A = this chain, B = another copy of it.
Amino acid sequence: MSGCQIDKNVIRPIRFFNGACQMLDQRRLPTEEIWINYTDYQGVAEAIRSMVVRGAPAIGVAAAIGTWFGARDIETESSEVFFVELEKVCEVLAATRPTAVNLFWALERMKSFAHANLDRSVLELKIGLEYEALAITQEDEQLCIKLGRHGAGLIPDGARVLTHCNAGALATAGYGTALGVLRAAVASGKKISVLADETRPFMQGARLTAWELQKDNIPVTLICDNMAGYLMSKGEIDCVIVGADRIASNGDVANKIGTYTVAVLAREHNLPFYVAAPLSTLDMSLTDGSQIPIEERDAREITHVGDIQLAPSGVPVRNPAFDVTPARFVTAIITEAGVVEGDYSQGLAALFNK
């Protein structure tokens, strides 16, 4: 079975080939590039939970691979037992993180594949699930490239673009969503420069976005999250582009904490605010964003950096990892099936019929 090529110039945070999986430990970037081997679904679940791998599309890819690991290791020849055990594997993977819907999308797709092949032997099911996980991985990068082409036209030549968190190659199987749009704009000959919010507390902007844009020679300047408003007020930002962890059917967007603030600021300064995400990030079962579960993470992410204590011992902390940006703040949603503006309820549903 062929897999992703390993090309030193292309960033792919998950290597899945010949039935093995390695993930780039994103907690240790940008100072260390450490790859961790995973061979079972429990390991993949822990990688998602502990944010070795993060970013909604990449979490989906990892979950698909984890599902295959789990399926492969079910020791039975009985289809009935296999499906019961597969369900348990998926439950463990589903319990890792609540907000990014791509996780649940990938698990559903893997289960649907298995259920569509009920008549196959357990061995054939296992082989089929490996193909499906590989397909999800490869499709993710391909759809990012397509999404990027759809969005590139929205980015003016010379634009100074603000992004928040990391919706780049590192958040996907490769190429990226928001950063994929910027890569496509650059590929089309435009000169752009990027302002990267550092994105407290996990510092995806400082550690990941700055790192991957630097690697691609796309000019990037790092700022703290609380500086974007000032730079907008000085006329130093032309547009905003971010990814998404879950988009409700009305266009409300859950994304990394702080995205909502950037959206409010963009509107105050009459700047376009773009969201780039694959169809797998759309949750058409939700009427609006208020139904999206928001993960609260550990206080230590805020009170410490490494072993350095930044806050008094015992201080209460709130650490919501995501927020919801109402659709009215979103100028356009860019997907691999096209760009939607205006009436998201109609426009997003229509994407699935393309």
| Residues of chain A at the chain B interface (Cβ within 8 Å) | 30-31, 195, 197-201, 203, 206-207, 210-211, 214, 219-231, 233, 257-258, 260-261, 264-265, 268, 302-303, 305-306, 308-320, 323-324
Give the residues in chain B near A211, CB-CB below 8 Å.
Answer: 311-312
Give the residues in chain B near A214, CB-CB below 8 Å.
Answer: 312, 314-315
Q: Closest residue of chain B to A233, judged by CB?
A: B260
A265 to chain B, nearest CB (A): 6
Question: Is there an interface contact between B316 and A203, defined as CB atoms closer than 8 Å?
Answer: no
Question: Is there an interface contact between B207 and A260, defined as CB atoms closer than 8 Å?
Answer: no
Give the residues in chain B near A317, CB-CB below 8 Å.
Answer: 221-223
Question: Is there an interface contact between B306 and A308, defined as CB atoms closer than 8 Å?
Answer: yes
Roughly how many angstroms separate A315 CA and B195 CA in the complex, as a whole number? Answer: 11
Out of B222, B268, B320, name the residue touching A230 (CB < 8 Å).
B320
Question: Is there an interface contact between B225 and A225, defined as CB atoms closer than 8 Å?
Answer: yes
A311 to chain B, nearest CB (A): 4
Give the residues in chain B near A320, CB-CB below 8 Å.
Answer: 227, 230-231
Task: Answer whether A316 and B221 are a contact pair too, CB < 8 Å, given A198-B310, A233-B323, A308-B308.
Answer: yes
Out of B219, B222, B231, B318, name the residue touching A311 (CB < 8 Å).
B222
Give the residues in chain B near A265, CB-CB below 8 Å.
Answer: 261, 264
Question: Is there an interface contact between B323 and A230, defined as CB atoms closer than 8 Å?
Answer: yes
Copies of this protein, total: 2
Roughly how many angstroms separate A220 CA and B311 CA in the complex, as a whole number? Answer: 12
Out of B228, B268, B302, name the residue touching A224 (CB < 8 Å).
B302
Out of B206, B228, B268, B316, name the residue touching A303 (CB < 8 Å).
B206
Give the residues in chain B near A200, CB-CB below 8 Å.
Answer: 198, 200, 224-226
Task: Answer whether A323 and B229 are a contact pair too, CB < 8 Å, given A210-B311, A222-B311, A223-B317.
Answer: yes
Question: Is there an interface contact between B226 and A318, defined as CB atoms closer than 8 Å?
Answer: no
Roughly how many angstroms separate A324 CA and B320 CA in the complex, as a whole number? Answer: 28
Give the residues in chain B near A220, CB-CB below 8 Å.
Answer: 315-316
Task: Answer whether A264 and B223 are a contact pair too, CB < 8 Å, given A206-B303, A310-B198.
Answer: no
Out of B30, B225, B324, name the residue touching A233 (CB < 8 Å).
B324
Task: Answer whether A310 and B315 are a contact pair too, CB < 8 Å, given A227-B258, A261-B229.
Answer: no
Q: A221-B316, A226-B261 are in contact. List 9 more A-B contacts (CB 8 A).
A: A195-B318, A198-B310, A198-B311, A206-B310, A222-B302, A225-B225, A227-B318, A227-B323, A230-B257
Question: Is there an interface contact between A258 and B323, defined as CB atoms closer than 8 Å?
Answer: no
Give the residues in chain B near A229, CB-CB below 8 Å.
Answer: 258, 260-261, 264, 323
Give the residues in chain B near A231, CB-CB below 8 Å.
Answer: 318, 320
Out of B264, B303, B309, name the residue touching A222 (CB < 8 Å).
B303
Q: Closest residue of chain B to A31, judged by CB?
A: B309
Give the residues in chain B near A302, CB-CB below 8 Å.
Answer: 198, 206, 222-224
Question: Is there an interface contact between A30 and B311, defined as CB atoms closer than 8 Å?
Answer: yes
Roughly how many angstroms separate A195 CA and B219 CA in the complex, as a whole number? Answer: 36
Question: Is there an interface contact between A310 and B257, defined as CB atoms closer than 8 Å?
Answer: no
